[in-house]
Structure 1
Amino acid sequence: MIKEIRTRIPEYDRPDDELYIKVVRMAVEQAIEGFLDHIERPGAPWDPEPFRMIGRGEAAEGRNLEPLQTAMRLGARVGWRRLTEIAGPLGLSPQSLYDLGEAIFVYLDQLADAAAEGFEEARARAAGEMERRRNRLLDLLLSQPLASPEAVADLAKAAGWRLPRTVACVALDDQHGGHRARPGGQRMPALPPDVLAGLERPAPCLVVPDPSGPGQAQMLEQALRGRCGAIGPGVPLAAAATSLRWAREALELSRRDVLPRGLLRCEDHMAMLVVFKDEELVSALAEVRLAPLAHLRPTQQDRLAETLLAWLRHGRGAGEVAARLHVHPQTVRYRLRQLEELYGDQLADPDVRFELEIALRARQAVIGSRR
């Protein structure tokens, strides 16, 4: 049996590895002795652990079960051939020979089932260990203060994760519960193995390596379709926590309807993120710069604020502002004259115009979130 197995299955032919040869011999001997015990004492309990252990060994070697199953079939064939050769001298009847053959194949199924159990157990344990390492790596990357580069590199190697030059963090909304599920009960598509996923965290997140790389943007959009979340800016690996902080701030503004719902990119909304970084300071700025509008009726304030923001953002021509606001140019000219009366020479000051735009953008976002 050993000769046939080593001849026919290259994975088990290691002539220079004495320990491995002993392991193969031990496996074959255990299989034969187990079969003989089963024939001698059919009702005795059978211990599957030796072949579970063999299955675990196959997983540790990085193989699938095909070589082991082939070895079992070869061993059974050799055993059956030997029995047929000695059936005559032993006086075995055809019925006894048939019964022995059937017992061999039943036993072969038992060995295969035990090996498969051990194999799957080892695979599950290895997957669980790898998942724990990846979760720990995620903790290190997002920790404050940042762990040492050596510690990150060592754990990345143990987790099978290639260290990228840049990363982007994604903050996901957990409002649907069961973070692996999408709205409607659909599961999120599988993410590429180089994406570190913390989907079971109280605040679920992802770390995406090389976010500007080929296909990364499309991958994220496809995987996160239907989810509310924010993709932080691409940063060096050491600044991963910063990318996540920006993503979470953007997600919070999205929940408040200051920023759009759905999947948004921080890079598309940097101005609003800066504006809302210190809302008390922005409110104080708005109180000063929008004071000339304070005595007007709310509807007048809204119209003039909208016109002034469009004028600051899109140029000082009444025609262009009118096109942006979908009103008549004459209406814009009338409002601009009102604003000149209210603000006087302030509108000629670049610093005042800059601060006015900040205050007006913040006002627009707050009003939009209330509607």
Structure 2
Amino acid sequence: MAIRSDTRTPADVVTTLRQGIGRVSTEVIEEIQARIPEYARPSDEVYIKVIRMAVEQAIYGFLDRIENPDAAWDPEPFRMIGRGEAAEGRNLEPLQTALRLGARVGWRRLTEIAEPLGLSPQSLYDLGEAIFVYLDQLADAAAEGFDEAKAHAAGEIERRRTRLLDLLLSQPPAGQEAIADLAKAAGWRLPKTVACVALGDQHGAYRRPALPPDVLTGLERAHPCLLVPDPRGQGQAMDVALRGLKAAIGPAVPLAAASTSLRWAGEALELSARGVLPRGLLRCADHMATLVVFKDEELIGALAETRLAPLAHLRPTQQDRLAETLLAWLRHGRGAGEVAARLHVHPQTVRYRLRQLEELYGDQLADPDIRFELEIVLRARQALGGTT
């Protein structure tokens, strides 16, 4: 930008302006501290020194541009200031206000000395325009540094949370002190209870769920999972976040037992894939009996071979009808009318089947232990579609 003066060159004008940097800097700092509470630290000499350095750097940078408009400009110092604002936990509004205040003080000072400097009205107008162009560039540089620092901090927090999830799910469990230290560094409050979510193959484009901010995510793990703190208070939010996904929510457990919750969730997901449990979003708490029954399928198979032996000689269709009737009788009471209502058949049909079962099982149906074992194997048989 050319400065038109009747008596002096642009270099002379800039030299004169440089001589007043100390006074202008003091005015700018006083204005900033008076009007922006975030920067008002009169007793902090180090902080005041940093502000003065930033103000003087901005003024020197502006005068350098006036003297040599084609010189390369280094935005890094104001990027650093933007990073500092992020580190202080502020947004950019106080800094932007400070820049505007600095520009106002600078413009006021220019108008005061325009006549002694021999500046024409056009030159004064050009300087004012240059101030606000420069102001925008400083603000842009600070915003770049601010965004960079925020992204870095977010990435670091995410890395710490990933490590925290690894510690919580490790076997054997990590020490409480190590977990507490990492949780603090990750900005994660230690909850009393947690529930883990096992995520299944979504068969297509994977949709990352929109999760509450305190949920720890392990979406990049070999078996993707989530860890939900205080799950009883987040049920609805998790239902919304996981809607449409193949997922199983493990039981709520103490924090130290997080891996147990994930193990149950994983087993529920496997049973869902086999058709034993429903597809879609599952809650282990709603299917605990089935999960327990299928914990050791070899043992269930051996028990079924023993307890269903009286039905073994019958045709498959007869086995299915009698097994269905016996399970309904065990679950819903011994009245033929209630069992018939559950099975949607005539009561006389139920009475006939029950007489067959009495003939086949004899006194065994009077033994509560045998009835309990029969219900276990019949539930397993029903879940597998009658193949046990």
TM-score by length of 2: 0.90
CA deviation digits over 1:266-286, x for unaligned, max 9?
111111101100111111111
Once the 2 structures are TM-superposed, how far is the Cα of residue 211 of structure 1 from its aligned partner?
2.0
CA deviation digits over 1:208-261, x for unaligned, max 9?
222223xx2222212222222111111111111101111111111111110111
CA deviation digits over 1:77-102, x for unaligned, max 9?
11111111111111111111111111
**What secondary structure sits across from 2:296 in the alignment?**
helix
The answer for the alignment partner of 1:184 in structure 2 is none
1:225 pairs, out of 243, 268, 271, with 243
Q: Distance in 1 between matches of 2:387 and 2:316?
A: 17
- Within-5 A mapping of 1:265-276: 265-276=283-294
Q: Distance in 2 between matches of 1:340 and 1:369?
A: 23
- Within-5 A mapping of 1:61-100: 61-100=88-127
Q: Distance in 1 between matches of 2:292 and 2:326?
A: 21
Unpaired segments of 5 or more residues in structure 1?
182-186
Aligned length: 361
- The structure-2 alpha-carbon separation of the partners of 1:53 and 1:177, relative to structure 1 and needing over 3 Å to count, comes to farther
Once the 2 structures are TM-superposed, how far is the Cα of residue 3 of structure 1 from its aligned partner?
1.7
Once the 2 structures are TM-superposed, how far is the Cα of residue 199 of structure 1 from its aligned partner?
2.7
1:175 corresponds to 2:202: yes
1:117 corresponds to 2:165: no
The answer for the alignment partner of 2:42 in structure 1 is 15
The answer for the alignment partner of 2:62 in structure 1 is 35
**What secondary structure sits across from 2:226 in the alignment?**
strand
CA deviation digits over 1:174-195, x for unaligned, max 9?
324565x1xxxxx533x22222
The answer for the alignment partner of 1:206 in structure 2 is 226
1:160 pairs, out of 162, 166, 187, with 187
1:246 corresponds to 2:280: no
**What secondary structure sits across from 2:217 in the alignment?**
strand
The answer for the alignment partner of 2:212 in structure 1 is 192
- More deviation in 261-270 or 67-76? 261-270
Q: Distance in 2 between matches of 1:32 and 1:368?
A: 84
1:335 pairs, out of 331, 353, 375, with 353
Contact 1:11 1:67 (C-alpha < 8 Å) held by counterparts: yes
Counterpart residue identity of residue 319, structure 2: Q
Larger Cα Rg: Structure 1 or Structure 2?
2
The answer for the alignment partner of 2:53 in structure 1 is 26
**What secondary structure sits across from 1:169 in the alignment?**
strand
**What secondary structure sits across from 2:295 in the alignment?**
helix
CA deviation digits over 1:127-170, x for unaligned, max 9?
11111111111111111000001111111111111111111111
- More deviation in 293-302 or 168-177? 168-177
Once the 2 structures are TM-superposed, how far is the Cα of residue 200 of structure 1 from its aligned partner?
3.1
Counterpart residue identity of residue 84, structure 2: G
Contact 2:202 2:245 (C-alpha < 8 Å) held by counterparts: no
Q: Distance in 2 between matches of 1:13 and 1:178?
A: 52
Q: Distance in 1 between matches of 2:387 and 2:62?
A: 75
**What secondary structure sits across from 2:313 in the alignment?**
coil
Q: Distance in 1 between matches of 2:387 and 2:325?
A: 19
Q: Distance in 2 between matches of 1:9 and 1:241?
A: 50
- What fraction of aligned residue pairs are identical, expressed as a percent? 83
Contact 2:264 2:284 (C-alpha < 8 Å) held by counterparts: yes
**What secondary structure sits across from 1:277 in the alignment?**
coil
Q: Distance in 2 between matches of 1:132 and 1:208?
A: 17
1:262 corresponds to 2:280: yes
Q: Distance in 1 between matches of 2:203 and 2:212?
A: 23
Q: Distance in 2 between matches of 1:165 and 1:178?
A: 35
Contact 1:174 1:203 (C-alpha < 8 Å) held by counterparts: no
Once the 2 structures are TM-superposed, how far is the Cα of residue 336 of structure 1 from its aligned partner?
1.1
1:289 pairs, out of 286, 289, 307, with 307
**What secondary structure sits across from 1:284 in the alignment?**
helix
Q: Distance in 2 between matches of 1:28 and 1:219?
A: 48
- Within-5 A mapping of 1:349-368: 349-367=367-385
**What secondary structure sits across from 1:146 in the alignment?**
coil
Unpaired segments of 5 or more residues in structure 2?
1-27
Contact 1:170 1:230 (C-alpha < 8 Å) held by counterparts: yes
Contact 1:170 1:206 (C-alpha < 8 Å) held by counterparts: yes
Once the 2 structures are TM-superposed, how far is the Cα of residue 47 of structure 1 from its aligned partner?
0.3
Once the 2 structures are TM-superposed, how far is the Cα of residue 342 of structure 1 from its aligned partner?
1.5
The answer for the alignment partner of 2:22 in structure 1 is none
Counterpart residue identity of residue 141, structure 1: L
TM-score by length of 1: 0.94
**What secondary structure sits across from 2:191 in the alignment?**
coil
Contact 2:325 2:350 (C-alpha < 8 Å) held by counterparts: yes
Contact 1:52 1:115 (C-alpha < 8 Å) held by counterparts: yes
Q: Distance in 2 between matches of 1:209 and 1:109?
A: 44
1:141 pairs, out of 168, 172, 192, with 168
**What secondary structure sits across from 1:170 in the alignment?**
strand
Once the 2 structures are TM-superposed, how far is the Cα of residue 305 of structure 1 from its aligned partner?
0.8
